[in-house]
């Protein structure tokens, strides 16, 4: 083979051929909020998505290195959303009241961030450990009394935990397994670390929701995988771990919680074959579905751009709401710059005064939005709309409206006053 020929990408889990199904062009880091003085050296990578017919895994073809994404200035803090705090409280209660905890249990969490979930176990003096590579968020978790090991979880980390703490009753992971390219390594670590009757409980944005809602903004550097029951069964099956339960979650625009155990430890619930059947009906185990998805994404881009251009023509003021990682995909793919969107408001202090990755839209404190209500707010944090709607009741009653692209470009509330 000539050295100029491009190699066919391979599935990270099955090593089978990966077919590229989406190409979104060059993108910056999803959370690469940048100081105005640093824009010259900004990093870009090709954002494209592949599908493996073998593992059914939807995955990025290229992902930047973990150290580029998760570091001591990681700007996402799980506790910024009241709704997510509530969600993780319930998540903790579901584990605390389950049959999976032994007398003196060990609970392990991968990607514990600011301690939003693990703090519920720490406050009950239960043995626990969180693995978190981003120093700044790990420090917040420690302030809550959470024990944190600063590292990227992999099989070697599992060995470290085994020798210091013993094996785990429950291994939890929320919105993190979909971030880790070396999934086989992580799963081997789970296999080693888990007690014979232990369980892995993890949740991530669900591929079925992304396809149904055309929420293509869930595709960015950090999200190297978009999971389905099909791909979870395949990937964990390689290590003899079985899927015993699934439960849809409303978080992050539609997520799925997966429960796994050693093969044969528990009888899988009916929810598993039911979800597998539903996925086959939706076609998310088939290549053609993702080829059609590219067309839907392009249509969404055209509709969003033309609405923003129309608002500009009519002299309406517009601001972005929530400088989410997801917004980086929308802004860069839809080529939205300050002429259409002068600023984005966000509640995270570390993002203030920075520019959005790639398109360089200024990020301002939420107070700016409150001081100066725009005619239209482009809703980047659409997954938190319920919470935002109650927080912004004054904005809405004054005739303000939210523009969203999910599941198609439209205004919220749908029957609000004409702006
Ligand atoms: O998977 C991931 C999830 C868990 O969190 C990570 N890769 C990164 C991150 O994704 P995201 O940035 O898209 O997450 P959220 O939770 O949709 O976005 C939160 C952002 O929105 C924060 O910057 C805070 C902001 N926000 C706001 O300004 N006002 C949020 C709420 C609820 C608000 O009222
Ligand atoms: N669990 C939290 C945080 C999700 S953001 C929530 O659901 O809100 C993803 C987190 O995973 C970040 O804090 C990131 O630093 C961490 N992370 C990324 N790769 C990791 C790895 N290999 N091991 C452990 N944590 C990781």
Residue-wise pLDDT tens digits, 282-313: 999 999 999 899 999 999 999 999 999 999 99
Sheet with strand 363-365: strands edge to edge: 363-365, 344-346, 318-321, 376-379, 401-404, 410-412
- State which ligand 2 atom lies nearest to the alpha carbon of 203: 7
Q: How far is CA 55 from CA 12, 104, 226, 279, 394, in A?
A: 9, 37, 12, 14, 48
180 lines ligand 2 (CB under 6 A): yes
- Going by C-alpha positions, the residue among 133, 104, 101, 131 that lies closest to residue 117 is 131
Asked if pLDDT for residue 1 goes beyond 80, the answer is no
Ligand nearest to the backbone CA of 133: 2
* Average pLDDT estimate for 208-226: 98
Quickly count: other Cβ atoms within 10 Å of residue 329's Cβ. 26
How do residues 322-359 score in pLDDT, each as one tens digit?
Answer: 999 999 999 999 999 999 999 999 999 999 999 999 99
Distance from residue 178's CA to the centre of ligand 2 (Å)? 9
Asked if pLDDT for residue 419 goes beyond 50, the answer is no
381 lines ligand 1 (CB under 6 A): yes
CA dihedral 234, 95, 224, 49 (to 10 degrees): 60
Closest CA to ligand 2's atom 22: 152
252 lines ligand 2 (CB under 6 A): no
Place of tokens 């969404």: 300
First-residue to last-residue Cα distance in the chain:
60
CA dihedral 143, 146, 148, 152 (to 10 degrees): -100
How much is the mean pLDDT over the chain? 96
Quick one: pLDDT at residue 57? 98
Closest CA to ligand 1's atom 18: 324
The vertex-229 CA angle with 224 and 234, nearest 5°, equals: 75
323 lines ligand 1 (CB under 6 A): yes
76 lines ligand 1 (CB under 6 A): yes
pTM above 0.95, yes or no: yes
Ligand nearest to the backbone CA of 325: 1
- State which ligand 2 atom lies nearest to the alpha carbon of 154: 22
152 lines ligand 2 (CB under 6 A): yes
Quick one: pLDDT at residue 2? 45
66 lines ligand 2 (CB under 6 A): yes
Quick one: pLDDT at residue 24? 98
Distance from residue 256's CA to the centre of ligand 1 (Å)? 18
328 lines ligand 1 (CB under 6 A): no
Distance from residue 314's CA to the centre of ligand 1 (Å)? 30
Asked if pLDDT for residue 418 goes beyond 80, the answer is no
Both tokens of 34, joined, read 């940048």
- State which ligand 1 atom lies nearest to the alpha carbon of 324: 12
Q: Between 35 and 413, whose confidence is greater?
A: 35
* Average pLDDT estimate for 124-144: 98
Separation CA 47–CA 224 (nearest Å) = 10
How do residues 398-416 score in pLDDT, each as one tens digit?
Answer: 999 999 999 999 999 875 4
* Residue 364 CA neighbour count, 13 Å, CB half: 17
Separation CA 376–CA 320 (nearest Å) = 9
How do residues 232-290 score in pLDDT, each as one tens digit?
Answer: 999 999 999 999 999 999 999 999 999 999 999 999 999 999 999 999 999 999 999 99
Quick one: pLDDT at residue 413? 80
Distance from residue 109's CA to the centre of ligand 2 (Å)? 10
Determine if residue 64 is left, alpha or beta; phi over 0 gives left, psi from -120 to 50 gives alpha, anything else beta. beta
Separation CA 38–CA 239 (nearest Å) = 44
* Residue 262 CA neighbour count, 13 Å, CB half: 13
How do residues 53-83 score in pLDDT, each as one tens digit?
Answer: 999 999 999 999 999 999 999 999 999 999 9
| Phi, psi of 354, rounded to the nearest 5 degrees | -90, 175
110 lines ligand 2 (CB under 6 A): yes
Distance from residue 125's CA to the centre of ligand 2 (Å)? 23
Quick one: pLDDT at residue 5? 57
Q: Which of the four pLDDT bands, split at 50, 70 and 90, describes residue 138?
A: very high
| Phi, psi of 115, rounded to the nearest 5 degrees | 90, 15
- Going by C-alpha positions, the residue among 379, 318, 330, 381 that lies closest to residue 359 is 330
CA dihedral 178, 179, 184, 185 (to 10 degrees): -140
Distance from residue 86's CA to the centre of ligand 2 (Å)? 19
Quick one: pLDDT at residue 7? 74
Asked if pLDDT for residue 211 goes beyond 60, the answer is yes
Contacts of residue 306, Cβ cutoff 8 Å, sequence gap at least 6: none
Ligand nearest to the backbone CA of 158: 2
Tell whether omega for the bond before 63 is within 30 degrees of 0, i.e. cis.
Answer: no
Separation CA 219–CA 130 (nearest Å) = 26
179 lines ligand 2 (CB under 6 A): yes
CB 254 within 8 A of CB 283: no
Separation CA 415–CA 398 (nearest Å) = 14
SS3 401: strand
Separation CA 46–CA 219 (nearest Å) = 12
Quick one: pLDDT at residue 218? 98
Separation CA 369–CA 395 (nearest Å) = 9
DSSP 176: -
69 lines ligand 2 (CB under 6 A): no
Both tokens of 412, joined, read 């919220």
Ligand nearest to the backbone CA of 83: 1
Ligand nearest to the backbone CA of 148: 2
Q: Could you tell me what percent of the chain has a pLDDT over 70?
A: 97
137 lines ligand 2 (CB under 6 A): yes
- State which ligand 2 atom lies nearest to the alpha carbon of 66: 19
Q: Which of the four pLDDT bands, split at 50, 70 and 90, describes residue 320?
A: very high
Q: Could you tell me what percent of the chain has a pLDDT over 90?
A: 96
Ligand nearest to the backbone CA of 181: 2
Contacts of residue 400, Cβ cutoff 8 Å, sequence gap at least 6: 373, 374, 375, 376, 377, 392, 419
Quick one: pLDDT at residue 8? 78
388 lines ligand 1 (CB under 6 A): yes
Q: Can you say how many angstroms the Cα of residue 235 is from the centroid of all Cα atoms in its chain?
A: 19
Asked if pLDDT for residue 3 goes beyond 70, the answer is no
């Amino acid at each position: 083979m000539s050295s100029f020929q491009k190699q066919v990408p391979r599935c990270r889990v099955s090593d089978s051929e990966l077919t590229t199904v989406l190409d979104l062009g060059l993108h910056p880091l999803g959370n690469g909020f940048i100081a105005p003085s640093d824009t010259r050296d900004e990093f870009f990578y090709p954002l494209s998505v592949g599908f493996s017919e073998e593992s059914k895994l939807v995955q990025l073809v290229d992902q930047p290195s973990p150290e580029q994404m998760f570091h001591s200035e990681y700007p996402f803090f799980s506790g910024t959303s009241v709704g997510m705090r509530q969600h993780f409280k319930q998540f903790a209660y579901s584990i605390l009241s389950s049959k999976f905890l032994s007398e003196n249990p060990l609970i392990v969490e991968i990607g514990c961030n600011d301690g939003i979930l693990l703090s519920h176990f720490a406050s009950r003096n239960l043995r626990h450990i969180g693995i978190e590579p981003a120093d700044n968020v790990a420090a917040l978790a420690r302030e809550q009394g959470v024990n944190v090991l600063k590292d990227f979880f992999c099989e070697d980390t599992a060995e470290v935990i085994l020798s210091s703490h013993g094996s785990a009753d429950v291994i939890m992971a929320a919105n993190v397994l979909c971030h880790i390219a070396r999934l086989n390594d992580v799963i081997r670590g789970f296999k080693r670390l888990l007690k014979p009757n232990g369980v892995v409980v993890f949740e991530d944005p669900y591929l079925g929701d992304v396809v149904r809602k055309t929420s293509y903004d869930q595709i960015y550097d950090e999200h190297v995988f978009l999971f389905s029951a099909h791909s979870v069964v395949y990937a964990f099956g390689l290590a003899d771990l079985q899927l015993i339960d699934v439960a849809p979650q409303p978080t992050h625009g539609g997520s799925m919680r997966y429960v796994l155990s050693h093969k044969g430890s528990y009888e899988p619930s009916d929810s598993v074959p039911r979800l597998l059947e539903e996925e086959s009906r939706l076609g998310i185990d088939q290549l053609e579905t993702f080829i059609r998805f590219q067309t839907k994404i392009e249509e969404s881009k055209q509709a969003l751009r033309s609405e923003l251009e129309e608002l500009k023509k009519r002299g309406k003021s517009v601001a972005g709401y929530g400088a989410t990682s997801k917004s980086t995909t929308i802004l860069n793919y839809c080529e939205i710059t300050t002429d259409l969107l002068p600023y984005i408001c966000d509640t995270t202090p570390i993002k203030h005064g920075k520019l959005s990755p790639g398109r360089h839209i200024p990020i301002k404190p939420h107070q700016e939005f409150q001081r100066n209500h725009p005619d239209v707010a482009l809703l980047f944090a659409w997954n938190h709309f319920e919470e935002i709607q109650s927080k912004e009741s004054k904005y809405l009653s004054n005739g303000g409206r939210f523009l969203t692209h999910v599941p198609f470009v439209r205004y919220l509330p749908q029957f609000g006053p004409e702006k």
